[in-house]
Chains A and B, each alone.
Chain A
Amino acid sequence: ETGVTQTPRHLVMGMTNKKSLKCEQHLGHNAMYWYKQSAKKPLELMFVYNFKEQTENNSVPSRFSPECPNSSHLFLHLHTLQPEDSALYLCASSQGWDRASEKLFFGSGTQLSVL
């Protein structure tokens, strides 16, 4: 186990549904991340939170809404998604965003299918 837990592991939703992805890290880290992993594409950074403050929004559509209530928990709220949003959504954490050699620790991801 990496110390980063994501739920649910799998999610199927319709385009009109609202759902949330959850991530929890037990590593005492201060930074948390959401990545999108699509088939045959490199990992895409979506959001970064450092000490609960959002420091990065990588031009993500507003139908994805992150929430970071504390340094250990991260959510991704989903609404009115499109089929092309189907992907593996990975959460990661690291000690802190300002360091130049940050190792990311990933969860196992949520495999999302939008019908």
Chain B
Amino acid sequence: GESVGLHLPTLSVQEGDNSIINCAYSNSASDYFIWYKQESGKGPQFIIDIRSNMDKRQGQRVTVLLNKTVKHLSLQIAATQPGDSAVYFCAENNKDSSYKLIFGSGTRLLVRP
């Protein structure tokens, strides 16, 4: 079946360091991936997305890497700041899911001052 999961439920990093949040997906037919950030008391907020015809995409302080061979997705945050503390979700969609986004369980990022 389809599933999107996260390797680490909680990640603690020092302020200023880089953070890497990982995500595994099981459906090799997935062709669109997206990362969301959810702060306490707020809804998920779009961070960055990537299509399956790309391996890497960069935004402001964030980079998403896609490895289709091992069905792995990662979100890299450069120079992590206290405001980056949140739960991060990856999501995928594909034709099998009728392009409905399938969300992972989330990883909590804690930034130590």
Contact = CB atoms under 8 A, between A and B. Distances in A.
Interface residues of B, number: 24
A105 interface: yes
B46 A103 contact: yes
Given A107-B43, A108-B43, A101 B101 contact: no
B105 interface: yes
Interface residues of A, number: 25
A99 to B, nearest CB: 8
A41 B46 CA distance: 19
B100 A106 contact: no
B101 A102 contact: yes
A43 interface: yes
A22 B31 CA distance: 33
A47 B46 CA distance: 20
Contacts of B45: 2, 106
A100 B93 contact: yes
Chief secondary structure at chain A's binding surface = loop
Nearest to A48: B100
Interface in A7-59: 40-43, 45, 48, 56
Nearest to A45: B100
Nearest to B6: A42
A90 interface: yes
A41 B100 CA distance: 17
B57 to A, nearest CB: 12
B49 A2 contact: no
A90 B105 contact: no
A66 interface: no
A106 B44 contact: yes
B43 A90 contact: yes
Interface of B: 4, 31-32, 34, 36, 41-46, 49, 51, 89, 93, 95, 99-106
